[in-house]
Structure 1
Amino acid sequence: MDNPHYRVARLLDVQPETEDTSSYLFVLEDGGDFQFSPGQFNMLGLPGTEEAAISFSSLAVAGSGRFTHTIRRVGNVTKLIGELEIGQRVMVRGPFGHGWPIEQAVGCDVLLVAGGLGLAPLRPFLLYMLENRGQIRNLVLIFGARTPDDMIFQKDLARWQEQDEVSTIYCVDHLTRESNLRLRTGLVTRFMDGLDLDPRNTLACICGPEIMMRFVARNLALQGYRQDRIYLSMERRMRCGTAHCGHCQIGAKFVCQDGPVFSYPDIARFADTAL
């Protein structure tokens, strides 16, 4: 349920992912439970600053009050979070929004396509699918980044690449160095043909730059995938989390309230998207 009230969370751990991106593990100071779904987000802030909308990159653990956000240091709030030391605190509102349609995955093939930091909102969904692997059919992850150094969750990527439960395709625009991962060169759309999936019975979830999501969604539609089972996350448009500021409005929709996850037909019809 959306929670508009502030709570205080303490930083427990920081795991660097790339040169400008890290994963931050927090715990709520009040000791209360904190339940959220893959694809939802928090509003994070510090006293005297604005807030930033950040999706969860971890699964909720009942009774722990813990959650992880994977954050790129590009704005005022995210740069300040990046300067936090272990034990320091942030202000939290959330969780907000509608997440990935987990219930629709039952009995279906599942395709996840991520670009760059877009893997962060998809990571908890993938972790959930792996924990409940018997509920779905084939599971495929396609992940692309600019270079090997821009690939987040490298330990996860290596582990998933060796698992039988998920088929993985990792690609980079430029292979600038050797990697312990098996990498292909090219955009994610180059590797979407010939997947062992049933287009009429596949749930496809996409997250990344809007231009990437546009070409991925259109590619899937041309291959016969059902458009009403293609979902995209539009999280980067959000600002207030409560549909009051209007910054995230797309047509008649507010990303923070009606999303951030939308079905492709529901969002592509609006002219102010790149979809």
Structure 2
Amino acid sequence: MTDVFVHPTAIVAEGALLSPGVKIGPYSTVGPEVVLGENVELVSHAVVDGRTTIGRDTKIYPFASVGNPPQDLKYGGELSRLEVGERCTIRESVTINPGTEGGGMVTRIGNDCLLMACAHVAHDCQVGNNVVLANYVGLAGHTIIGDHVGFGGLCGVRQFVRIGSYAFIGAHSMVDADVIPYGMAVGNRAKLSGLNLVGLKRRGFERDAIHVLRGAYRKVFFGEGTLRSRVDAAATAFADDPLVQDVVSFMRDGRDRAFCLPRSAEDDV
């Protein structure tokens, strides 16, 4: 355990694997099946337990509970896992649970994610890279979150919901249906309010690409015919555009699922 620092008040169970550069602060506890990557830091009073792997350069703040058993009455003690990526920031009182037999046995969080204070990631969630969960965001079990998704504070996401890459969920929203990639949703229950234009510009998307995406958005949600037929029409009309095809593929993969829709388009589905 070269260059590992463990505070005298911390408890590290026998069997835990601590990589070089790990720092475990006061009153933290680490379970026997935990693997901490290089330069992981537990600031103080943090708990990491279960079959949990934490990627390098991740920092976990006080009173976070990472890897304790799922809050699922169907959980029967199966040896499920939690995988947290590299360079993540897990702030105070965050809770993250491992998977269950009914959901693939693993919860995953990607690289470069920020989980602000009191956020919750439930069992079997699959969270992409560069995701930001603001304070008190709660992801119910089995949710799938794409890369570069942002959440405002106090959001809830229902179990099994998918949120596509580069989407944004406004503060105080309750999301109970899938949100398309590049979309912006807000409200209780959440409705689409257009595209995540600010986020796309900040991420360096070209103006022309955003313009084409807006045209496809209008065709899919405000065109003639059923939602399915409009998706098929957009797939043909924008066959060479990768952003539009991302949206089309996402919606085709969820043909039997509910989607967040613009309020004015709901009657056209």
Give the TM-score, by structure 2 length. 0.25
Q: 1 or 2, which has the higher helix percentage?
A: 1
Give the TM-score, by structure 1 length. 0.24
Question: RCO greater where, 1 or 2, for CA within 8 Å and sep 6 or more?
Answer: 1
Q: 1 or 2, which has the higher strand percentage?
A: 1
